[in-house]
Amino acid sequence: MLDIKAKFPLVVSAFMQSDARTRHIKGPFRSGKSSGAVVEIVRRSAMQKRGPDGYRRSKWMVVRNTMRELRDTTMRTFLNWFPSGTIGYYKETGTTYFIEIDDIRAEVLFRPLDTAQDVKNLLSLEVTGAYLNEAREIAREIIEGVDGRIGQYPAMKDGGPSWCGVWADTNPPETSSYLYCMYEGFDPSDAKTKKPNEWAVFCQPPAVLKDVEGNWHTNPLAENLENL
């Protein structure tokens, strides 16, 4: 039986519980945001409604900017939480994890964005939702393109998904970048004009603070300190 026993920091928990179609969490390194994001894949799989065959079916795309980063960070985090053989199994061919536990049948497709062909293949997929790991490293075209691929699995003839969406984690993006503009409600084309959007953005407290003498100290309000 699927039973995920985990307690997440306050902002990470709020991020996971949001039903916004697009939601991002930004914060410092090692703040627990990636763990929350990968557990969200399994949690949302379990929340899908049953289809005509009695199974809760879904398909999730996990994106990182390069294959090396995908293997060294994103996939490692996922497999640390859900090793192959626990709630499902991982197949190297296709870099896909198949969740098969209780009435859950889900596919987790790990996809890098190394080449133009990778991008083309990515945007031809039909998925329930997508998780973008370290979103500040992912091109605007991909972030916007992924939005057009979600909500297409299961097919509407089978009842469609009960929830679909894109979620992402990231370290703070550079000022005036596409993500910065979307987070702050500016038009990305000029980074000056106010242009509200429907993204839900969750901001974690900074990891360190500078005192009046210019010295850096750990922020007691920082998240995930107990695991560092």
Q: What is the pLDDT of residues 95-123, one digit of tens each?
A: 999 999 999 999 999 999 877 677 777 77
Q: Report the side by side order of strands in the sheet with 96-101.
A: 88-91, 96-101, 104-112, 56-64, 129-133, 165-170, 22-26, 200-203
Determine the angle formed by the axes of helices 33-47 and 10-17, rounding to 10 degrees: 30
Return d(Cα 65, Cα 84) in angstroms, integer. Answer: 24
- Predicted local distance difference test score (pLDDT) of residue 3: 67
- Predicted local distance difference test score (pLDDT) of residue 1: 57
Is the distance from CB of 37 to CB of 170 less than 8 angstroms?
no
pLDDT under 70 in the chain at which residues? 1-3, 116, 228
Instruction: Give the E-state strand segments of 48-142 in sequence order.
Output: 56-64, 88-91, 96-101, 104-112, 129-133
Using DSSP's 3-state secondary structure scheme, residue 151 falls into coil
